[in-house]
Structure 1
Amino acid sequence: MNPPKRIDPRRAYRVGPQGLRRIVLGEISVNGTTSATVEASRRPKAKPLRTTIQPTKWHMVVAHSYRGRLDDHAREAIACAAILAEPDTGVLVVVLGTFQEDPSPLGADRIAIVDDLDWSRYEPVREEALVDAFLQDYCPEHIFLPDNSLGDGDLGRRLLAKQQSSGATHVIEIDRKHIAIVWSSGNRLACAPLPRIVLLDPGAVDANLPFVGAGEKIAVPSTGLASERCVDLGLAPSKPSEIALEEADFIVSAGNGVHSIATLEELARSLDAAVGASRVAVDDGKLPRSKQIGASGKTVSATTYFAVGISGAVQHLQGIKSCRHVIAVNRDPGAPIVKRADLTVIADAEEFMQALITRVAQAREQSELKGDSNG
């Protein structure tokens, strides 16, 4: 006869706010170790510095920021420069635009931030003059840029033409000696020696590094007054309804909890956002299939994703994994979307949408009145 199983009184525990010990299922005590020891062992270990040697050579990365942040593509370019760097090679990062994060985890040893040259401004002559100043000061062996439409791809090609250096675009594989690009309509890979200027395709490098950089912030060199050959006319505004969901920066998405699509569309218009939907909402005929977001629909990378009445099935979460901020409105606090969301409002979707529409209208009216009084 098997003896009855009993709880080990010396198993791992946590001490609550009132001093009571609470045994936590799944935690195991080894040789009488306390809960504090178990928790300490689970904390992520600090990553080591990539190199402690004073740099004698440099890799340089140039990338535009977007709203104070570098996207995953730019982070991959920095990681590539750090991975390929020898111990005596430093990684210099030039950020065009504001940047408010710690550069060390990205692998940057030195970083220069040019606040007034962000993605929304087109000043090619000034960008080239700035890069030329860094080229003269650091003489980097290799220059890395993300090959994108944010401005880095254009800048990289202009550098290729101006520097007359070896270069490669749309690089999908890279090591310290070679690069590879897609060739023959994607049927083959063309390999070549590692050039000086490299424009990387997204996904070519894993940005999760096992080390950190020094993260030293440096001053931006003076370039004097550059005479622009182009006139920047600014950005032409587009209606959110005309923007593809893959390119939308703000999306309001409807789920099964939304009964009035007209109210959701009114909310989207008040927030200047595009409209999306979960598969359930599309299957119910509330919105067309072109609005479906998820594994079987479209994958989006919006800065803000507003999920209204969406429970958060696995397929839908796959479609929003690249979104920066997720806001969820749901009556169920245990819905999967709540775990993914950065902010959750537990409320009825219809009541919340009506209240938010009213509040946004009031805020805009107050802002307009304040502007008129100042004028």
Structure 2
Amino acid sequence: MKSRTQTALRVDPRRPWVRSPGGLKRIVLGEDGGRRDAPPAANMAAAKPLRSAGPFDGRVLVVAHAERGQLDEAAREAIAAAALLAGPREEVLAVLFGMDGCADAELAELALDRALTLADPGFAPEAKLALLRRLWRQETPRHILFADRGDDADLGRRFACRERLSVLTDIVEIAADGARRRRPGAGFSVHAPAETLLLARGVADARLPFVGLGRRQAGEAEAAAERVRDLGSVVSPASQLALEEADLILAAGNGVSDVPAFLRLAATMGAAVGASRVAVDDGRFRREQQVGATGRSVQASAYLALGISGAVQHLQGIKACRHVIAVNLDAAAPMVKRADLSVIDDCQSFIHALQALLEREGKEARS
């Protein structure tokens, strides 16, 4: 028998390539078209479908308060629950206090079909109740939803009492045929859906697979005589706040070696102090300052992570934070990838530079 010799196929190193959506060069075998650009649509996320185009013959109403023009995660979850609860012929209607400057696209992304946006009048329960009572009679929604925390919880309870509506609080699961609520010391109980629903955290995923019509309607709070006079609020020192309540958190990881300078910077900024598990285990910070799945879950407006690599458990604890800023020497650290803004630098140098800047600006402001 004759032996047949086969020549191994070689891969041409100069064969054509394209740039992938992720920006990397991807070799395409078997093509001879040379270098070409990827289609523009390849870099764009797929458009979400519209939940319902109407016409609507019913409504689900949701009420939320924004802080500095932004909704927190609890409010977003309440809006998502309203969108999931609404049927195809039901409009998702919202009353948003403190969102008077939002865009229609933002409302659509929240899966809202229509939103009444107005400036927050502050602690003015009677004015807000007058507005909600008028909308309740005018729009006749099937349910009215509130997040069961803060101003939303207070307003929801007041509204249910004033209108003598059925109400369920601390709801952890909701469907068209029933609601599951948490009972202190007694597990859970299942009820028929009430007219007023106050929702616990985690009741719905705010990342919905669809969008709403996003129509915005400007409004004003009703004129009403208040029974309580608002004397303003007193800001507690950050050191006295629980991490879950802090709006600004300065967190240290294994990369922070000058702890006194770090604490001095936190005091100058008026920030609460957080830490990674490694920094806590080393004894540099207290256990109650630990952030993460095995510590505290926080939802600050700004979270500054200094020298924190970003373990999965730590990232889980900051997923509700609005803005994350990372300072790290490792540009490939998971925290840097998670952050909205990253500074690739030594933490000690950053701490001293920021401290000097704040002190200089403080002197200029006082002079």
Q: Does 1:114 align with 2:118?
A: yes
Aligned-residue RMSD, C-alpha: 2.9
1:100 equivalent in structure 2: 102
Residues 183-240 of structure 1, C-alpha deviations (whole Å, 9 max, x = no match): 47343x42222221111111112222222111111131562x3111012122122111
How far apart, CA to CA, are the structure 2 residues paired with 1:116 and 1:22? 47
The AA in structure 1 aligned to 2:310 is G
- Aligned counterpart, 1:353: 351
Question: CA offset at residue 84 of structure 1?
Answer: 2.1
Instruction: State the 1:116 CA deviation.
Output: 2.9
Q: Distance in 2 between matches of 1:33 and 1:185?
A: 69
Shift of the 299–53 alpha-carbon distance from structure 1 to 2, 3 Å rule, reads: closer
Tell me which amino acid in the other structure corresponds to 2:292: G
Cα pair 2:309 2:333 within 8 Å, conserved: yes
Identity of aligned residues (%): 41
Cα distance in 2 for residues equivalent to 1:45 and 1:32: 27
Give 1:39 shift: 6.6
1:38 CA drift (Å)? 6.6
Matches within 5 A, 1:220-239: 220=219, 223=222, 225-239=223-237
Partner in structure 2 of residue 24 of structure 1 = 26
Alignment of 1:1-375 (within 5 A): 3=8, 6=11, 12-14=17-19, 23-24=25-26, 36=37, 40-41=41-42, 43-98=44-99, 100=102, 102-117=106-121, 121-148=122-149, 150-183=150-183, 185-187=185-187, 189-220=188-219, 223=222, 225-369=223-367
Taking the aligned partners of 1:218 and 1:181, their CA distance within structure 2 comes to: 33
The alignment partner of 2:295 has SS state of: coil
What is the number of equivalent residue pairs in this alignment?
358
126 and 222 in structure 1: CA distance in 2 versus 1, 3 angstrom threshold: closer
Deviation at 1:28, TM superposition (A): 8.1
Q: In terms of mean alpha carbon deviation, does 62-71 or 174-183 score higher?
A: 174-183
Q: 1:66 is paired with a residue of what secondary structure?
A: coil
Q: SS of the counterpart of 1:337?
A: helix
Mapped partners of 1:167, 1:208: distance in 2: 26
SS for the counterpart of 2:218 is coil
Amino acid at match of 1:23: K
Structure 2: how far apart are the matches of 1:251 and 1:204? 26
With normalisation by structure 2, the TM-score equals 0.88
State the alpha-carbon separation in 2 of the partners of residues 226 and 30 from structure 1. 73
CA distance in 1, matches of 2:312, 2:184: 36
Q: How far 1:289 moved relative to its partner?
A: 2.1
Q: Secondary structure at the match of 1:251?
A: strand
CA gap 1:164/1:262 in 2 versus in 1, 3 angstroms: same
Given the superposition, is the C-alpha separation of residues 114 and 9 from structure 1 closer, same or farther in structure 2, using an over 3 Å criterion? same
CA contact (8 A) 1:10 1:32 kept: no
Letter in 2 for 1:355: A
Matched letter for residue 182 of structure 1? R
What CA distance in whole angstroms lies between the structure 2 residues aligned with 1:182 and 1:30? Answer: 61
Q: Distance in 2 between matches of 1:221 and 1:228?
A: 16
CA contact (8 A) 1:59 1:141 kept: yes
TM-score, normalised by the number of residues in structure 1:
0.86
Shift of 1:271: 0.6
Which SS does the other structure have where 2:141 is aligned? coil
SS of 2:309 mapped into structure 1: coil
Which ranges in structure 2 are unaligned for 5 or more consecutive residues?
1-5
1:162 CA drift (Å) = 0.9
Q: Distance in 1 between matches of 2:34 and 2:209?
A: 29
* Counterpart Cα distance in 2 of 1:255 and 1:244: 19
Assess, with a 3 A threshold, how the Cα gap between structure 1 residues 24 and 178 changes in structure 2: closer, same or farther: same
Offset at residue 179 of structure 1 (A): 1.5
C-alpha separation in 1, matches of 2:284 and 2:32: 59
Q: For the residues of structure 2 that align with 1:263 and 1:29, how far apart are their CA atoms?
A: 60
- Distance in 2 (CA, whole Å) between partners of 1:29 and 1:3 is 16
Cα pair 1:12 1:24 within 8 Å, conserved: yes
Cα gap change, 1:318/1:2 in structure 2, threshold over 3 Å: closer, same or farther?
A: farther
The Cα of 1:155 is off from its aligned counterpart by 0.8
